[in-house]
Amino acid sequence: MERVYLCLAHMSGREEEYIHEAFVTNWVVPLGPNVNAFEQDLLNFVESAPSQQMQIVDGITAWPRAGWAQGSRKQVVALSSGTAAVHLALIAVGVEPGDEVICQSFTFCASAHPITYLGAKPVFVDSEAETWNMDPALLEAAIKDRIAKTDKKPKAIVPVYLYGMPAKLDEIMAVADRYGIPVIEDSAEGLGSRYRGRVCGTFGRYGVLSFNGNKMITTSGGGALVCPDEEAKREVMFYATQAREAYPYYQHERIGYNYRMSNICAGIGRGQMTVLDEHIAHHKMLAEVYKQEFAGVEGIEFHDNPGPEYDSNFWLNTIVIDPQVRVKGEELAYAEAVKGAVGGAAGVTHAGGSAHTECEPNRNVEALRMALDAAGIESRPLWKPMHLQPCYRTAPAYVNGVSEALFKRGLCLPSGPMVTAEQARHIASAIKSSIK
């Protein structure tokens, strides 16, 4: 069997048509017809809503595409990355040097790093055990404590939809409303996920989307920001295009950024939008396969929707492994330091000086990752919580141990549109055969 990767993009066949059109019309710039059309496609999607009943398509639950938000003032800005979208959303809600921003700890670093770009300070809040996302009770405790300690409210709240799972949005939004703090939803992993039938990324003041090569759809990179209205969109676009004033020469009175999506990348996005529903259904199908395969396997738990109001896109399917489970090859786990990026991870890495860090996945989890890798199957540990990252060692953190425990026990499994049901069953079989 060929190597199975965690999550790779799948082209629809329409991408080349839109890219060719951009070259023919000479729109090879960070604006143009593809950008405008992609933004409209995204807006149509995020404003789609369920009817009274869900549809069942090929055994997969899907919400019909009709307009809960008809007449809504939401707008979408296509950008160069999801990280850029977080950065611009923070600017849009007024985050300045010295401010504090509450951020979910259990997440990828792009949720937190833009806070530091602005000279602000992240305040990390741990997760609850059902969705693995920001704990609403801990969130309120953190807000009260920051007000008591600093005599001012945090400027924003950044919950994340980890691996596509919606957060406890009723409770989080109620806390945010109680204290008048804007919410920036990091829905980078949650495109197409819904909470109570409503698309994630539309609950807060701003919603962040990502189209990196491993996401639900891709533009080869790229992201987008869901904005509350046309005025907010124009201001975001002002900062995304170097913040130029209206003069016949370049006049800059504020610091701007080169964050707009190119017309070429947007062409890829337009093609990808034609298969987004298909991709979501495929990820959910894989989730069902994994869930069935691990049902009754002692010591392995598949992370599923915790209730009917949650409708995850299952961007990455994940399992947690009991520390008591013994895996073949545990004696070889962490035997030597990793050199370079693991699996399909992109980017340049520094060589670690040691095989160990202060907090790492359990030996049985690392042994299982190594066994799968040897079998040609890519897997990854869960995100290491931000409050445990050395670069944030001095940041305030309100923790309950949930994210640290999950990090030590969890593993992400191949989940992309290129993964077949047969391959998912093979992966589950490889995991079960690795257990002593």
Token pair of 22, please?
Answer: 């951009």
pLDDT digits (tens, 9 = 90+) for 347-399: 788 877 788 999 999 999 999 999 999 999 999 999 999 999 999 999 999 99
How many Å separate Cα 175 from the centre of its chain?
Answer: 22
Domains annotated for the chain, with CATH where assigned, are: 15-274 (3.40.640.10), 277-434 (3.90.1150.10)
Which tens digits make up the pLDDT trace of 145-193?
999 999 999 999 999 999 999 999 999 999 999 999 999 999 999 999 9
Residue 60 has pLDDT above 70, yes or no: no
Q: Beta strand 75-79 with 55-57: parallel, antiparallel or unpaired? A: unpaired
The encoded tokens of residue 115 equal: 């806070």
Q: How far apart are CA 89 and CA 227, in angstroms?
A: 9
From 140, 184, 186, 126, select the one nearest 162 (Cα to Cα).
186
pLDDT on residue 330:
96
pLDDT tens-digit map of 309-355: 999 999 999 999 999 999 999 999 999 888 776 655 567 888 777 88
Are 154 and 102 in contact by the 8 Å Cβ rule? The answer is: yes
Specify whether the CB–CB gap between 405 and 105 falls below 8 A: no
Sheet holding 223-227, edge to edge: 75-79, 223-227, 206-210, 184-186
CA angle (42, 90, 384) in 5-degree steps: 85
For residues 209 and 276, give the distance between their C-alpha atoms in angstroms, rounded to a whole number: 13
pLDDT exceeds 90 at position 57? no
User: What average pLDDT score do residues 281-286 get?
Assistant: 97
Active-site positions? 215
Q: Provide mean pLDDT across the span 211-226.
A: 94
